[in-house]
Amino acid sequence: MAEEVAQEQPRPTAPRPVRCIVKLGGAAITNKGELESINEENLRSACAQLRHAMSESDGDGATEKVLGMDWSRKPGDPADPAVDAEWIAGMAGLGLDTNFIVVHGAGSFGHFQASRSGVHKGGLHSTLVKAGFVATRISVTSLNQEIVRALAREGIPSVGMSPFACGWSTQQRKLASANASQIIQSLHTGFVPVLHGDAVLDELLDCTILSGDVIIRHLAQLLSPRYVVFLTDVHGVYDRPPTDPNAVLLKEIEVDDNGGWSIVKPALLQGNTKGVEISVAAHDTTGGMETKILEAAVIARLGIDVYITKAGTEHSLRALKGDVSTDSEDWLGTIIRSSK
C-alpha cells in the first residue's frame, strides 16, 4: 500500500476545509466495452446530483434556473449559443458551495492506448511507448474536457487540470512530486478543480500511469476533506465479483492504525479480515477495484469517511450530500472508516 506523501512545496491551506472529494469512476461515466464512449445518461445524472449537493437553497434544485457555463458551439448546432449576459451580470452569486474537488477515471478512454503501448511499464526510448504516451494523454484529456463541459452545463464553475501539466510525477510508480498550488488557488477563487488519471513522467521508468484513486488519496492527505465519495457502476464493495449471484455487499468496513481492515456489516461476515475477491479488466492499467480499496483504506485511517456507491441513484445523491452514517440501513453502498 502506497503511504508515502509526495514531496511538496510548503503546505498550502484552503480558506475552509474542503467539503468533499468526488471520484467519478470510469466504469460509471463511460461505456467500458466501447472505445472512447461516454455514458451520457450517467454523466448527466452525476453532474446534476453534484449541483444538488452543492446547492445552498432548501429545495431540490429542480426548478432553479441553471446558469449554463458551456458557451461553446457544438458540431451540428444551428446557431451560436444563447448567453443572457444581462441576467448573469445581475446575479448576486451562484448559490453553490463549490468547495468540492472532482477526480475522474478514464474508463474506455486512455486504458486501451496505454495497454497497447505499455506506457504503464515505462521506457520512453521505445517509439511505441512514446507514441502511446501521446495517444493516452490525447484520450484522457478529451474525456476531461467533456466532463468539465457536462459540469459547466449544470452551472458548476469547473476547471480541468491534468496532473502531467501540473508537474505531477512518480518514482517507480509511487507519487514523487505533486504540486497542489494550482488546485488550492482554484478552490480559493470558487472554482471546482476537475482532475483525472493521467500518463506522467517517472524518475526511474521514464513514464507510467498515475491513477485517479492515487490522486484522491494524496489530495485527502493534503486537504483533509470532510468525506470522500467514489461513484462506481456497482453499489459498493462486494465479498466477490458482483456478477457472482452469491456476492454480498459489504456495507461497513473498519480500518485500523496499521492499515488492516475488517468487515463490520453485514453481521454474517463480521470480523472477516481475509479481504475480497478482486476482478480487474484485462485492459485496466490502474488496478481497478483493488487500487480503490487500498487507497480508500489509507484515507479512512486519516479519520475521513469514504463512501462507495452506484452513480445515478438516490444513494449516490445522499453520499454526495454527506447524508450517510453507519446507522443508515436504507442506504446501499459501502462505508470505509477508521476503527477509532
Q: Which domains does the chain have, with CATH numbers?
A: 20-54+94-338 (3.40.1160.10)
Rounded Cα gap, residues 57 and 334, in angstroms: 28
Residues forming the annotated binding site for substrate? Answer: 106, 111, 212
| pTM over 0.85, yes/no | yes
pLDDT by position in tens, the chain (length 340): 444 455 554 455 545 679 999 999 999 999 988 999 999 999 999 999 999 999 977 665 555 678 889 998 777 777 777 888 888 888 888 999 999 999 999 999 998 999 999 999 999 999 999 999 999 999 999 999 999 999 999 999 999 999 999 999 999 999 999 999 999 999 999 999 999 999 999 999 999 999 998 999 999 999 999 999 999 999 988 888 888 888 888 899 888 887 777 888 877 655 555 555 544 343 444 445 566 678 888 899 999 999 999 999 999 999 999 999 877 788 999 999 998 7
Rounded Cα gap, residues 117 and 120, in angstroms: 8
Residues forming the annotated binding site for ATP? Answer: 107, 233, 288, 292
Q: What is the DSSP string of 301-325?
A: HTT-EEEEEETTSHHHHHHHHT---
Rounded Cα gap, residues 248 and 238, in angstroms: 5
Rounded Cα gap, residues 255 and 202, in angstroms: 30
Residues forming the annotated binding site? Answer: 106-107, 111, 212, 233, 288, 292
